[in-house]
Amino acid sequence: MENVVIGIVGNINQDEPIAHYGNVAYVDAIIRAGGSPLILPVVEDSHIINDYLKLCDGFLFTGGKDINPLFYHEDLGPLCGKTSMILDHYQLALFKAVRAKEKAILAVCRGMQLMNVAMGGNLYQDISLHSPYVLGHNQKSDDGDVCHMVHFKEGNILYDLYGNELAVNSYHHQAIHELAEGLKAAGSCKDGIVEAVIMEDYPFGVGVQWHPEKMMLKDDKMLGLFKAFVEAARRN
């Protein structure tokens, strides 16, 4: 049986020298789940994006910089972090193209936020804007450590994999504010921050706010999520 090719949606570092990159933890997670990882550099050419669609069976949208709030019709606020218009244009265009082809999607951290913005939702530019009380969502502990619970709703793949709650890690300061049409919240924290989403009426579209690839440094609990993603991509 041929391996499934998973496109790991690349990031760009615009410091000198400029570099296109993908985190090795995502690569390892896809290999362990039975897929063939392919890091996809940041491009502006729609023809190359179409080539990516032909090459890959599924797409992993990864963590990274904040999304420029102009893409969800807000001005830049003082709490927004570092952004990249080149990266945002590329990843939003790629997400929309992947969605149109109904390819399998797994979106992690920034990737989940990008999913929401691409489908018409918006973000809190900083979690402190959600409410006076929020949990710590940007842990300072070792990679692989967990720091808070996520509670899942019944009737989605994450509940099927992990039951009603799961301890996860957390490395973000932005979060989903208004959920896009076509997305359903699948899990949240006790402070109300959305931690997981499912694309409705879609073969496989899952977004998680935590970093499952980092959790796999400590145990195999997250391997089931990556395996489900790879198997969904195989069915495309």
Please, which pLDDT band fits residue 145 given cuts at 50, 70 and 90?
Answer: confident
Cβ atoms of 188 and 150 within 8 Å: the answer is yes
Please give the distance of CA 4 from its chain centroid, rounded to a whole number: 19
pLDDT at 127: 78
Which of 80, 148, 172, 213 is labelled catalytic?
A: 213
Provide the token pair at 233: 């991509």
pLDDT digits (tens, 9 = 90+) for 176-232: 999 999 999 999 988 788 999 999 999 999 999 999 999 898 889 999 999 999 999
Please, which pLDDT band fits residue 17 given cuts at 50, 70 and 90?
Answer: low
pLDDT at 99: 98
Q: What is the pTM of this model?
A: 0.94
Cβ atoms of 113 and 123 within 8 Å: the answer is yes
Please, which pLDDT band fits residue 16 given cuts at 50, 70 and 90?
Answer: low
**pLDDT (average), residues 150-177:** 91
pLDDT digits (tens, 9 = 90+) for 74-128: 999 998 889 999 999 999 999 999 999 999 999 999 999 999 999 999 999 987 7
Provide the token pair at 34: 């039975």
Domain boundaries of the chain, sorted by first residue:
4-234
Q: Mean pLDDT across the chain, nearest whole number?
A: 91
Question: Is 109 one of the annotated active-site residues of the chain?
Answer: yes
pLDDT at 136: 59
Please, which pLDDT band fits residue 173 given cuts at 50, 70 and 90?
Answer: confident
Q: How far apart are CA 52 and CA 63, in angstroms?
A: 19
Tell me the angle at which helices 85-101 and 46-55 cross, rounded to the nearest 10 degrees.
Answer: 50
pLDDT at 171: 76
Question: Is 195 one of the annotated active-site residues of the chain?
Answer: no
Question: Is 213 one of the annotated active-site residues of the chain?
Answer: yes
**pLDDT (average), residues 151-169:** 94
Which of 137, 172, 177, 211 is labelled catalytic?
A: 211
Which of 56, 80, 109, 189 is labelled catalytic?
A: 109
CATH number of the structural domain 4-234: 3.40.50.880
pLDDT of 59 strictly over 90: yes
Please, which pLDDT band fits residue 13 given cuts at 50, 70 and 90?
Answer: confident
